[in-house]
Structure 1
Amino acid sequence: MEHPHQPDPQPPSPPGGPGSIIPARDIGADQAGQERRLVDHLTAEKITAVRHAFYTAAAKAIFALQNGQRLSSEQLFVTVHAQAARAWWDRVDEEITGKRLTCDHALRRMRSWARHYLTGEPPAARPGTLFDHALAHAARIAARDFLTDSGHLLTQHLINQAATTTPATAAPVDHDHPGLVTPAPPASTVAGP
């Protein structure tokens, strides 16, 4: 017979629950997975934002044309810039979904292409009109903006990677004297397992 004031026995906690022990390699893999998902999420958000910016700019230009209004140079620039920016980010999306690359790899690959586009393109064989130069200028600005935005995403990726990994060669800290750092022993004197 059970005593009425005795607590109920606790059921065993599920694997991965509050009372379980997770091996260190699983924690590292989980943190790496979280930081990878963060970069995936930020990249997907950027792709969506660029597509919406293009849809908005194109809709405004079409609305103006359908109502018999003249397109201003600003409207045209915004639309061409949005179209060129979307082209860069759509290529990132193609690399991720079509070739099954990770987001950071796809971003690095497209950044290489954007740098080549900005620096390695040969000059035009014949002179263009002012309109041609304006369109090319908008495309170059879109490539520079792509480099800037993708650079921020890759920087965030590296910051997250650095936060989830701790270097094995870090010097131990003396907790009795927090300002004093004890030098790491030479590799030859460390006992192996």
Structure 2
Amino acid sequence: MANDIESGAGSLDTGGAAGSARWFVLFLGIIAILFGVLFFVYPIPTLTLLATILGIYWLANGVVVLLSLSRHKTGWGWKMLVGILGILAGVIVLIYPLYSAVLVPTIYAIIIGVEGLVIGAIYLVQGFSGEGWGTAVLGILSIIFGLILIAHPLIAALAFVLLIAVLAIIGGIAAVILALRMPG
């Protein structure tokens, strides 16, 4: 028995850390491609599934944060706030997953639109304060895109979902290629 251990007989060789990393990268790449395709074919159900997973995460995280208060009292006010908000957000998302699937990207589009307005105004002021006409043009473009996002947040949310689909497929293909080129 001791000789078997020393010689490695009877052990399963999985290729070591490099081999397992290769399979993990390949697995993640395939999952990303599948989610990208699902986003194209079934955008709302896929987004609903992801919103449900996010709701479970928020709920579990809120509970864990509140439970951590019994051991670590530092920053208890912030922990209490994060825990309660996490539980509330998780419960709301789990009760209304379809609404959450539409509402979360829509709110995100509105936030990006407001950010575009603010950044555009800053660039516009900088452009007229001597930074040059290029900065002013960027400010005007940022304001235009911000207004479009705010005026049509549902369309922007759908575009956001399709962008996620494209990025997931491209990233998945890149991960699969990387995994196939990894030694192991």
The two structures share one fold, judged by TM-score above 0.5: no
- Superposition TM-score tier, normalisation by shorter sequence: 0.3 to 0.5
Higher helix share: 2
Which structure is larger by alpha-carbon Rg, 1 or 2?
Answer: 1
TM-score, normalised on structure 1? 0.32
Q: Which has the higher contact order (CA 8 A, sep 6+)?
A: 2
